[in-house]
Structure 1
């Protein structure tokens, strides 16, 4: 006959369907084995792979579509009252997506989707395109289907990481894309388009980009002509009081002006064919906006000329340069020509050899060298991304387990209460208070120690590599 303690253990085993040796005095739970029936443990890898395949990316990039062509597929509001992101809610329901993320930049359109398990390959891509671009002509729909890239599963994760680290950008190593990705995520999140899966991916995406930039030199050495021109300006070590003449108020000089403001230069005069644009660009400086036709009349002196217009011939000729120079020495002047064809006549450098002349050709040559340097760093960056994909996949599998087992603690407690209050109510009624108290402590101890077993076992099985 079993003793009192063994009898209580036997009752406990009946409640939890465990096995125990009555004469074993080892601490619980070593003396018991909980028979959790979790079928997915035997196929953990398959389940994880099928789950990861739900990540899809459909994207238009400069690698297959020219920049004007990409613009044809940018989403636009259908009404004044409804934004693009609000429209995506309806689209998300139409294709049965669980989550969706939309990014649009000057050289990329990207859709990150958490799709249904049955949505795969070309069939999913076709359904996606036909639904999204239903209002476009048949020709444009066919073009979209042909030119869009589709990435699925781990390939989608790899691509998203590469995008974040500017490895897939038109200009490799430009960090602006990471800011764009994060801002787009915040907008999509606020609209309720994204959920737990994309949240997890974004966390590792930001981590990957930062790791690429910190462990490689992919972002070093400027590759844009404006950045290189600014570098040349900084090398000249001109004082903040230097006088600048900007010929042209377009995008190039507008960007150059931002750098001037950043580095404390404030005496800037802008010449442009449109007086309004010249004045708008000059308003942040102690200068003025003038018409290009007034350049020959300008007599206030200068230290730097930056030319960037669409003129088909030189605006600053040798003769005009002499007039602008007046009585000032030419040795301290810096001439930066960011135009094709040249807006500053190259002959100026021959006639005034002490002036420093920087044509766009020299900047473009340096940009190509720097870009080649960044391209070399891509190999190291690829290694980092591959490592990060593996790290993400492990985290993804752990998250799957957490989601699958989050109800276990609640259900275990419910089973305990059902057993006590219903199944074994009669047997428990025969026990004295001391025995009931001991049984209750044993059950509480078992719950506390064993409730984590399914999670631990599942992780060990799912994370185990062949």
Structure 2
């Protein structure tokens, strides 16, 4: 019944992110995704198709009665791409189960990552607008959304942060620094970009950003009421002091040496200062940590917390799988019911045709001899029976499916 549903997918589990990116580019390059997917339908390879991609996944969900073999994979694109042969194939209930696992973030690189559901819904809407999704995939993708919502509502799979930046902010809040604290950010890479988002959300305004590229520092500092930007090589003359120091650079050696730390203190005591080190390798020298009395939040500590939280999320997978199993059973029932509705969609018209033939051909002469009142009564009786004859088999079929 469901064997014509298929998934071809390439994920972080069976390919490098670079390989996934190359395949995504092959499908989406030059804004040609719609044309490439439409071609699959026009050439009869698929009946309906749904396409989704993320930074670590490419997924094609489609319906077809054709054999999904190596030739099928090669013909997905007009140009030869090595990654096509690495696409993993799932069919029937296994394909649908995989889609539900993806939507529920069970199969994600980061278990419990809620963003994946939003991404799938955007892809669903796009494919619907392109008229690539019909009745079959509408049912399955809608059920995937319901299954995912059920998982998020009835498990703890999305609890406990696994983001190092988010955890660093949680750790910072444990020490309750004032919103007027002087915050110094050393480095303006992607990690510290995320840090600034958290700082703005928490209402901090006194932020100084130091970076090798001044323009980049100015961009981050501009988001704060009292934001300032300085060059990284100006740190040794910086006299503004700090209450909280975030440091994350691409340097191969420690940036915050004992000498530099002493300069950054600007004559103030280290006691009560908070230093958050997000660098890999560490940006704060061990000698600095040993030589001064301050609160140190290290990347290793944050990674340890992240792994503990990820283990917590993974333990919720068993509960999530039971929810998916229930939704798969419901999906089979819903799809069976829909097949019957399709098969019986012509019943009302057939019954109307029978009534028309009876009135206008078979019993035309007999009805013509009836008086108007009797004729009207006969019409009402036949209309009533017509409606009942339409409803009874539909209801009986639905009850049979449920049983």
When the two structures are superposed, what TM-score results if normalisation uses the length of structure 2? 0.94
1:401 aligns with one of 340, 354, 359: 340
What is the distance in 1 between the residues matched to 2:45 and 2:73? 14
Q: Deviation of residue 89 (structure 1)?
A: 1.2
Which one of 77, 80, 89 corresponds to residue 136 of structure 1? Answer: 80
Residues matched between the structures, number: 402
Partner of 2:3: 53
Q: Secondary structure at the match of 1:451?
A: helix
Looking at structure 2, the residues matched to 392 and 204 of structure 1 have their Cα atoms a distance apart, in angstroms, of 7
Structure 1 427/95 Cα, relative in aligned 2: closer, same or farther at 3 Å?
A: same
CA distance in 1, matches of 2:41, 2:274: 56
Shift of the alpha carbon at 1:308? 1.7
Pick aligned residue for 1:260 from 189, 195, 199 = 199
Deviations 1:225-253 (A, max 9, x none): 11211111222222222222222211111
The answer to whether the aligner puts 1:300 opposite 2:240 as a matched pair is yes
Instruction: Assess if the C-alpha contact under 8 Å between 2:240 and 2:266 holds in 1.
Output: no
Cα distance between partner residues in 2 of 1:75 and 1:444: 59
Residue 8 (structure 1) aligns with:
none
Aligned partners of 1:284 and 1:308: how far apart in 2? Answer: 19
Is the contact made by 1:397 and 1:463 (CA closer than 8 Å) also made in structure 2?
no
CA offsets per residue over residues 388-432 of structure 1, 9 Å max, x none? 111122112222222222232222122211220122212323333
Checking the alignment, whether the CA contact within 8 Å between 2:4 and 2:91 is kept in structure 1 is yes
**What's the counterpart of residue 37 of structure 2?**
88
1:194 paired residue number:
133
Q: 2:263 maps to which residue?
A: 323
* Uncovered stretches (5+) of structure 1, i.e. residues with no partner: 1-48
Deviation string 1:94-119 (CA, Å, 9 cap, x unpaired) is: 2432221111111000111122xx32
CA distance in 2, matches of 1:360, 1:311: 15
- Residue 107 of structure 1 corresponds to 56
* In 2: Cα distance, 1:149 partner to 1:305 partner: 46
Distance in 1 (CA, whole Å) between partners of 2:25 and 2:261 is 48
- 8 Å contact from structure 2 (residues 6, 95) kept in 1: yes
Shift of 1:144: 2.8
- My pick for the range that moved more, 330-339 or 105-114, is 330-339
Q: Distance in 1 between matches of 2:29 and 2:330?
A: 43
Q: CA deviation at 1:78?
A: 8.1
For residue 105 of structure 2, the aligned residue among 154, 160, 166 is 166
Q: Distance in 2 between matches of 1:276 and 1:125?
A: 52
In 2, Cα distance between the equivalents of 1:378 and 1:238? 37
The alignment partner of 1:136 has SS state of coil
After TM superposition, where is structure 1 displaced by more than 4 Å over at least 4 residues in a row? 76-80
Bigger shift: residues 359-368 or 290-299: 290-299
The separation in 2 between residues aligned to 1:255 and 1:78, in whole angstroms, is 28
How far 1:87 sits from its partner (Å)? 3.1
The aligned residue for residue 17 of structure 1 is none
Cα distance in 2 for residues equivalent to 1:162 and 1:328: 53
Structure 1 distance, partners of 2:109, 2:218, is 32
- Contact 1:75–1:84 (CA under 8 A) maintained in structure 2: no
Is the 2:23–2:84 contact (alpha carbons within 8 Å) kept by the matching residues of 1?
yes
Contact 1:86 1:191 (8 Å CA) reproduced: no
Cα deviation for residue 79 of structure 1 reads 7.8
Bigger Rg, which one: 1
Q: Equivalent residue of 2:219, what SS?
A: helix
Q: What's 1:68 paired with?
A: 18
Partner Cα separation in structure 1 for residue 256 and residue 196 of structure 2: 20
Q: Within 1, Cα distance between the matches of 2:391 and 2:25?
A: 47
Q: Over the residues paired in the alignment, what is the CA RMSD in angstroms?
A: 1.9
Residues 280-299 of structure 1 mapped to structure 2, 5 A cutoff: 280-285=219-224, 286-299=226-239
Contact in 2 for aligned 1:58/1:125 (Cα 8 Å): no
- Kindly indicate whether the alpha-carbon contact (under 8 Å) linking 2:277 and 2:298 is maintained by their aligned counterparts in 1: yes
Shift of 1:380: 0.6
Aligned residues of 2:6 and 2:91 also touching (Cα < 8 A): yes
Aligned 8 A contact 1:95 1:128 in 2: no
Q: 1:414-425 alignment to 2 at 5 Å?
A: 414-425=353-364
Question: Alpha-carbon deviation of 1:84?
Answer: 1.8
Q: What is the CA-CA distance between 1:76 and the residue it aligns to?
A: 4.3
Q: How far apart in 1 are the matches of 2:340 and 2:27? A: 40
Residues 194-273 of structure 1 correspond to what in structure 2 (within 5 A)?
A: 194-273=133-212
| 2:275 corresponds to 1:335 | yes
